[in-house]
Amino acid sequence: MMQPPVALVLPGAGAHYPRMAAGLYRREPVFTTAADEVFDLLGPAGQGVRADWLSDDPVVPMDHATRSHVLVFVVGYALSRQVMSWVGPPAAVLGHGAGELAAATLCGVFGLADAVELLWAQARGLASAPPGGPLAVDTTSVSITRYLGEDVVLGALDGSAQLVLSGSRAPLARLRPRLVADGFACRPAPATIGFHSSAPVPFVEETLRLVAKIGPASPGIALYSGRTTRRVTAAEAGDPLFWASQPTAPARFWPTLRTLLSDGDFRIVEAGPGRTLTSIAYRHPAVARGRSQAHAAFPARPHGERAERVALRKLARALGT
């Protein structure tokens, strides 16, 4: 029986955890080579990022943007290369939030060296942003509208009734008791910056100049945008502002997944830490009814290096390798 083509989905910040994918490093040659390419392109900073990644006692904590943002890219990119070594180029790629840069790189919009330069500029900019964070809420975007304002915005749409609010720390802290009192289930997500809000705005100009200098190309693989909820056009891919302002725009993974699965049936592979995107995909009717599939490269929660290797072998078998 003919299997559907593979679509890679790459998670973003918030999926990270200490030593994520360390169990694959120096054990899986394809993964290791791809990760080292990124670290080497980062120069001296890359040595520090790699050392903190592999350490039980990192010098710079994993929640710092120069670690979380960079390592989510490293792991997503390297895992995608691992999967591609088994099945060839994917038919489609979709990144969630910070995963969009790795997705664009896999699709040829950015060369790896240019992507890493942009990645580090983004990480340094995010590190200078005011403290904040995401707040996950189980409700619809319509129901949450009256709680939004300049300080708290819709940061991500991860399901038909699952979203993430984003903003600076104090407004979110004031809002959470109101939401609980009004009957909403909500919980902080693991990040220290208000991704997909106005927090990254101050460094957009710098990254805009950088992307303009790079000159992004048209995607060679179908690339889906969590910003527009559809395939990225050649005009969008070549627009520096489209990429420079991405960290300030909502990440609409759920409606983008719906677009992807309306375009065809796929074997969705989550190339990144955790199984958040796989869990979301399970709720889609195409996956629930078996027309499409959803697979994860990692355990649902951190369970150590051996569990990571077991999960990767399980994925390889599921993909027929």
Q: Could you report the per-residue pLDDT of 52-86, keeping only the tens digit for each?
A: 999 999 999 999 999 999 999 999 999 999 999 99
pLDDT of residue 46: 98
Q: Global pTM? A: 0.95
pLDDT band, very low/low/confident/very high, at 160 (cuts 50, 70, 90): confident
- Measured distance CA(104)–CA(255) in Å, rounded: 19
pLDDT of residue 132: 83
Task: Compute the radius of gyration of the chain from its Cα atoms.
Answer: 18
Query: From start to end of the chain, where are the E strands?
Result: 6-10, 92-95, 132-137, 152-159, 162-168, 186-188, 222-225, 230-231, 267-270, 293-296
Which residue type is seen at 34?
A
pLDDT band, very low/low/confident/very high, at 191 (cuts 50, 70, 90): confident
Residue 300's contacts (CB-CB under 8 Å, 6 or more residues apart) are 274, 275, 279
Q: Which CATH architecture has domain 132-188?
A: 2-Layer Sandwich (3.30)
Q: Where are the domains of the chain?
A: 6-128+200-318, 132-188
Indicate if the pLDDT at residue 110 is higher than 90: yes
Residues pairing with 188 in the sheet: 135
Q: Spell out the SS3 assignment of 91-105.
A: CEEEECCCHHHHHHH
Fold match between domain 6-128+200-318 and domain 132-188: no
6-128+200-318: CATH class: alpha beta
Which residue type is seen at 42?
L
